[in-house]
Amino acid sequence: MPARRSIDLQGASTYFSAMAKLEIITLPDPKLRQVSAPIERVDDELRKLADDMLETMYDAPGVGLAAVQVGILKRLIVLDTAKEEEPPSPLVMINPEIRHLGSEMRTYEEGCLSIPEVRVDIERPADIVVGYIDKDGKPQELKADGLLATAVQHEVDHLNGRLIIDFLSRLKRDMVVKRFKKQAKGDVEA
């Protein structure tokens, strides 16, 4: 029987059942435009938030999630770019900082959990070097390429108040924002 892709592949269901799925905020929430604050201390509360964010990201489903997307203005991102046939490979980055951008560019169609059903072709450096602090509070440096490089850049943009629609022309961006504002009003009235 083939293994199903799930978070508790190795019988860790007790650990993961303690996690909570968080609400992902969407456009036009103004928090998405704010710059997230650096994290001063890595503790159990922060590790729990990272775990909850991972569960939320997997459930959505997505390949990355920034803390601001769950309404927390802290510099924390979670990612997992493993392909479906591969085991999960979660990555937690605290205070991520892109230290080097490669010169070769790559265009990737990006989506965003905070802007559902919108996809934008974005050209970004194909490889990067990112420094961050891991869940144990240890400084790390990672050279990333392909989808992981794209995902890290996308999530770091979130920490800086930048969204995928910022890569669109002003007209297209305004149309997307208008649509989401209209939907938000409809949700309130319903």
Provide the residue ranges of all domains of the chain, joining segments of one domain with +: 13-189
Residue from 186, 184, 188 nearest 27 by CA: 184
Q: What are phi and psi of 78, to 5 degrees?
A: -125, 145
**pLDDT score for 185:** 84
For domain 13-189, give its CATH number from 3.20.20.140, 3.40.50.2300, 3.90.45.10, 3.30.1360.70: 3.90.45.10
Known catalytic residues? Answer: 155
**pLDDT score for 19:** 56
pLDDT, one tens digit for every residue, the chain (190 residues) = 333 333 333 333 333 445 579 999 999 999 999 999 999 999 999 999 999 999 999 999 999 999 999 999 999 999 999 988 899 999 999 999 999 999 999 999 999 999 999 999 999 999 999 999 999 999 999 999 999 999 999 999 999 999 999 999 999 999 999 999 998 887 544 4
**pLDDT score for 26:** 95
